[in-house]
Amino acid sequence: MFKILIPAVAALGLVAHAAQSYTAEDGVAAAPIMLVAEAPVEAAPATPAMDWHFHTEGDTAKLAYGVANSDQLVLILMCTPGEDKVSTLGSVRAEADTATGQTSYQDPMTGGVLHESEIARNDAALADLAATGKMTVVSDQGKVAIGSDATDQEAVKTFFASCGTAPA
């Protein structure tokens, strides 16, 4: 999402700068109200909301953070009942003390970088996710918390229930 948002904001800034008109007589920019009247602007579509979404694939439970019913995903957590690790895959790295097997590689579909790791089920990062619906991740912009504590908490609870016991 961040990779899409930053260029979009930069493009809007360039459009705003290019839209300024100057009078030939005094070189002064036209009043902002005149710019609005002279150049109609189309409203940008609303950015789809990102939430946690629960899915299963055979015995594997998956908790994906992204846009519903799309391939716009930031992070996927995967577990199998009885396993003591949770696998991660995403354009961000999960911030976890017990992360092992960390690898990064270029995604052939998007050209972006994907990160993989495994996190112990008793890691504090997973306990925080189970308790709050939020998880700290590391992106190109630094550390950020993804998730919410309201709308998608049910998906998080279902994920941990599907993995076996909730994290400590």
SS (HEC) of 22-82:
ECCCCCCECCHHHHHHHCCCCCCCCCCCEEEEEEEECCEEEEEEEECCCCCEEEEEEECCC
CA 57 – CA 87 distance, rounded (Å):
14
Give the single-character DSSP code of 20. Answer: -
Confidence (pLDDT) at 7 = 43
- Please report the pLDDT score of residue 121 as a whole number: 92
Instruction: Supply the pLDDT for residue 70.
Output: 85
pLDDT digits (tens, 9 = 90+) for 8-47: 433 334 333 333 443 444 455 555 444 444 555 566 666 6
Residue 127: exposed, middle, or buried by beta-carbon count in 10 A (0-12, 13-18, 19+)?
A: middle
Beta bridge partners of 63: 54, 77
Q: Which tokens hold the place of 97?
A: 């003390």
Pair of tokens at residue 104: 């990064």
Top-confidence range, 12-16, 29-33, 120-124, 162-166: 120-124
- Whole-prediction pTM: 0.69
> What is the tens place of the pLDDT at every residue in 53-96?
999 999 999 999 999 888 889 999 999 988 899 999 999 999 99
